Structure 1
């Protein structure tokens, strides 16, 4: 494969996974807290595990940029700066280190690599709780109990499923011949 076709394949994969993230963001159940239950955590894990530590965060960044300019790619068909700077925007920022750490976990053959993914999820939740707390005036503990703790089990299961799904993707010949 030539260098230019490898670049096209890389750009296509980044765009494709940004689109997967946009679609999974629309599968949402609104909750009174204002933080919906979505498939975003699954999608971000999949992006990181499938694309690796360099390209995974790029796909998340593309998704964020598309949403920032107003395209309705965030949950509930929302877009624009108000979402990123709103009370749930911290979770969106938190997806970047989460994708990075999931990508590192996929690339490393370490026995404790699952802890990299868990650290990414915790960073994502920390970013979300901090911004929610800041914008609502609610203290950090109450914010965590409202917008983080109820989602952790679902998010851990989502990440485990994303890792398995990415492993299956890597067994597909068209996907497997390039590194993360």
Structure 2
């Protein structure tokens, strides 16, 4: 029996690379690094910037599955707190997690869990189902991020939504649709490679 961090049904990553502890750790750290990289693609707004992080979360969750996706987001958060400068605007430290953006980072963990769980049930293989999956994953981020923002800033509901939701809706939809376009195409490529391998036997 192969030792693995993956739990449950196979995902896109499992069709490209064999499950194994070393592979899984590499994928988890790679997912965290991708999130940190896209965090630097940012439109500065106060108190919460618009970033590319959510796109990374959606891609990581769907390709790695629920367990490894959650671990990747935990690694992103914990390594950022430990000092890796990959939060938005190269921020790091516990202060970021306790700030107005901390709830969104915590929400990434649940979003990766949801998108990974749905991907393990093949919701990421066709555009429409993938779009639903990724829009749902994006929504989960706000379910955690908005209450956190309200508590940290002391804002009322209207101000919280103005700061933390309305400016993010267009970008969130675009990122979900980008992910929904990428992942099914990747699955098609995997299927074609598998078919070519069978034909060559």
Mark yes or no: TM-score above 0.5.
yes
Aligned residue among 103, 112, 131 for 2:148: 131
1:109-124 equivalences under 5 Å are 109=122, 114-124=131-141
Greater shift in the superposed pair: 47-56 or 4-13: 4-13
2:2 is matched with which residue? 3
RMSD: 2.3
CA distance in 2, matches of 1:28, 1:54: 28
Aligned residue among 115, 118, 131 for 1:102: 115
Aligned residue among 23, 40, 44 for 2:53: 40
Once the 2 structures are TM-superposed, how far is the Cα of residue 165 of structure 1 from its aligned partner? 2.4
Once the 2 structures are TM-superposed, how far is the Cα of residue 68 of structure 1 from its aligned partner? 1.0
Aligned residue among 152, 155, 161 for 1:144: 161
CA distance in 2, matches of 1:117, 1:104: 12
CA distance in 1, matches of 2:64, 2:51: 21
1:1-180 equivalences under 5 Å are 3=2, 6-31=20-45, 33-109=46-122, 114-170=131-187
Point out which structure has higher relative CO (alpha carbons under 8 A, 6+ apart).
1
CA offsets per residue over residues 72-121 of structure 1, 9 Å max, x none? 11000000000001111110001111111111221214686754543332
Aligned length, in residue pairs: 173
CA distance in 1, matches of 2:118, 2:130: 5
Q: Check the 8 A contact 1:24/1:40 in 2, yes or no.
A: yes
Q: How does the TM-score come out when normalised to structure 1? A: 0.85
Once the 2 structures are TM-superposed, how far is the Cα of residue 159 of structure 1 from its aligned partner? 1.8
Q: How does the TM-score come out when normalised to structure 2? A: 0.77
CA distance in 1, matches of 2:62, 2:115: 5
3-state SS in 2 of match to 1:21: helix
Question: Which structure 1 residue ranges, 5 or more long, are not aligned?
Answer: none
Question: Which structure 2 residue ranges, 5 or more long, are not aligned?
Answer: 4-18, 195-201
